[in-house]
Structure 1
Amino acid sequence: MRMFSYIDPTIRARLVAQGRLIRVDSSGAVLAPDAVSERPGAILNVLGPIPLPMDVAGKQETFKWYAFVRHTELAEANRIADALRGRGEQHLFSVLSNNMSVNSVLVMGDLREAENPLVRVHSCCLTGDVFGSMRCECGPQLQRAFKRIEAERCGAVVYMSGHEGRGIGLWAKAITYVLQDAGEDTYQANRSLGLPDDSRDFSDAATMLLHLRGDKPMRLMSNNPKKHQDLRAGGLNHIQAEPHVTGVNAANLRYLNAKRGWGHLLDLDEINPVDDGKKE
C-alpha cells in the first residue's frame, strides 16, 4: 500500500531512498519501507530530519524536526484521499487532518551520543502554547524546555499534537473551562462530561525516543509521575525525573492545586504562587 496517495509517488520514493522517510516498530527499530505487522498500530511513519531554525529566547537556533504518525492513521487518510480524488473533491483534503495525529520531535545536538540529555514530552495546548493563556502553565513549560535544552546545547522536545485537554480534544476542553468557571476543578469537569481524568497515550513518544536515543539515560522535564510510568512501560527504563515547575500565576493556582492533588509533584509552598505572568 502506498504511504501517501495524495503526494506524487515519485516524491515518496525519493524520500525513502534518501532515508528521510522511514518506518519504525514499537522498539524504535527501522523497518523495511513497506513493512506490515500483525500490530499495524504499533508502526510509525517518520519523516525527517528537517532543519528548523527557531527563535529560542531571542536567539536563532536550528533544531532537527522529525514528524511522525501511526501507520493505521496514515492508511485511513490514504483511503479518504483516494475517495476524494475519485470524486474530484481534492479541495476537501483538509479533512485528512481529522484522521492523522501528526506528532513531532525537535532535537538539538547529538541526542544518541549525549551523556544524559534533557527531554520534554509535551502535550499540545492551543490555548497555552499559542494563545498565551494563563489558565494553565503549558506555554511557559514549553518555552522553558527549549531554553534549558539550548543552554545545554543538546536535548529533545516531543510534541504530541493529539493530546489537547489531556486527550479529550479542544471542543471538550472548552466546555470543561465553562464548568471550571462554575466551580469544578479540571478533573471534576472531565468527569462531568463522562470523560477520563487523563486519556493521553505516550507510547508513540516512547517509540520515537527509543529510535532517536535508545534506552539510555535521559532527564525527563515533567512533574507528572504518570508520564514517567507510561514512558517506562513503553521501554524507556533509564529516564530520570527532572522538576519542571514554571508559569505559576493567580489565574492557574487552583488548576495547579488540582494537579497536585491528582499526584503531580508540585510543591507550591516553595515557589511564589503569584508572579507577573511573564513567560520564562
Structure 2
Amino acid sequence: MFTYLKPDVRERLVAAGKLVRISGDGSCIDNENSTDEDALIINLLGPIPLPLRLAGNSYQVNWYAAVRSTELEKVEGLAAALRKSGGQNLFADLAPSMAVNSAVVIGNPENLENPLVRVHSNCLTGDVFGSQRCECGAQLASAVSRIADDPSGGIIIYMAGHEGRGIGLWAKAATYLLQDAGENTYQANQSLGLPADSRDFTDAAALILYFLGNRPMRLLTNNPKKIDDLSSAGLTQMTTQGHVAGVSKWNKRYLSAKQSWGHKISDSDIAT
C-alpha cells in the first residue's frame, strides 16, 4: 500500500489541526523530529465525517487514519525514487503492505462516562466478504451497533495489520486449507512455523489513550491476551463485556478452538 502526502498538503493539514502526531502514551508531539529513533510516534489524520451502512443500519461517525512515523519515512524514500524515475518499473517496490490503522469515533465518548471500546483486528474474509468461517464481520457490525445505541458512545480501533492474528492474508489462506485437513485455527498457524497469535496492540493502546485517556471504559472482547496487552500499555481502568456474535454451524469449531485457547466464551454462547 503506497501511502504518501505531498509536503505542502501535509503542512495545510497540520495547520488545520487535521494531522497530528502522538506518542505511545497518547500525548500530542509538537516537534516534527523525534530525538529517539525507537520511540513510537503515530501520525493521525482526521476527523473525517463518514456515513456508514452496516448490516442494514446507517450511522454517522468520524473516521481517523493512523500510521507509524517509521512507516511514513519508508514511503518518503519510495516517493523520491518514483519522482526520479518518472514512475517506471517501481510497482514491486510500492506493493509491500503497510499497516494503516483506523479509529472510528461514534458519539462523543470523550465527554461521557465509561464509553465502549472495541479493538478489532482486520479480517478481509469476514469483514468484507462476509465469510462465516469466523465471526469477525458479525463482531464488527455488532460493535458499531452496540456503541451507537449506548448513551456514552465509544470508539472502534481497527487494526489493519492483524490479518490471521498477525500472519497476513497469504499465510491465512494456507491455514484455511490446513484447517480443512483437520487442524484448528491455532494449530494451523503453528504448522506454518508461525505464532498462534502474533498481534501487537501497542498502537491500539496509544490511540485509545489519545482519544479517551486512561479512564474507566468498557472493552468489548472475549480475548484475555488483548486485555493483558492493553493493560500493560497503560490502560488500567478497563472492564470487559463479552462480545460473541455471528455464531453459526460454519464457525462453531473455530469458536470452540478459541474457547480452548482461553477466550471467555461459554458453551451456551456457541450453542447452535
Distance 1:56 1:255, change over 3 A: closer
Partner of 2:131 in structure 1? 133
Partner of 1:102 in structure 2? 100
Q: 1:143 aligns with which of 135, 141, 144?
A: 141
Question: Could you state the TM-score of these two structures normalised by the residue count of structure 1?
Answer: 0.91
Partner of 1:193 in structure 2? 192
Partner of 2:179 in structure 1? 180
1:271 shift after superposition:
3.4
Distance 1:216 1:152, change over 3 A: same
Partner of 2:204 in structure 1? 205
Equivalent residues, number: 270
Q: 2:80 aligns with which of 57, 79, 82?
A: 82
CA deviations on 1:22-43 (whole Å, 9 max, x unpaired) are 1111111100151314144500
Distance 1:96 1:137, change over 3 A: same
Is contact 1:22–1:33 with CA below 8 Å preserved after alignment? Answer: no
Q: 1:71 aligns with which of 62, 69, 72?
A: 69
1:100 shift after superposition:
2.2
Question: Could you state the TM-score of these two structures normalised by the residue count of structure 2?
Answer: 0.94
Runs of 4+ in 1 over 6 A off after TM superposition: none
1:62 shift after superposition:
1.3
Identical residues among aligned pairs (%): 53
> Over the residues paired in the alignment, what is the CA RMSD in angstroms?
1.9
Partner of 1:247 in structure 2? 246
CA deviations on 1:99-129 (whole Å, 9 max, x unpaired) are 5210000001222121011110000000001
| Structure 2 Cα separation of the partners of residues 102 and 41 of structure 1 | 18
The AA in structure 2 aligned to 1:120 is R
CA deviations on 1:122-181 (whole Å, 9 max, x unpaired) are 000000011111110101100000010111151111000000000000000000000000
| Structure 2 Cα separation of the partners of residues 84 and 131 of structure 1 | 33
The AA in structure 1 aligned to 2:67 is V
- Give the secondary structure class of the aligned counterpart of 1:65: strand
1:96 shift after superposition:
4.0
Partner of 1:18 in structure 2? 16
| Structure 1 Cα separation of the partners of residues 249 and 6 of structure 2 | 52
Q: Does 1:115 align with 2:102?
A: no
Which range moved further: 47-56 or 257-266? 47-56
Partner of 1:223 in structure 2? 222
Unaligned 5+ runs, structure 2: none
Is contact 1:141–1:245 with CA below 8 Å preserved after alignment? Answer: yes
Is contact 1:5–1:82 with CA below 8 Å preserved after alignment? Answer: no
The AA in structure 1 aligned to 2:26 is G
Which range moved further: 59-68 or 173-182? 59-68
| Structure 1 Cα separation of the partners of residues 44 and 264 of structure 2 | 33
Q: Does 1:260 align with 2:254?
A: no
Unaligned 5+ runs, structure 1: 275-280
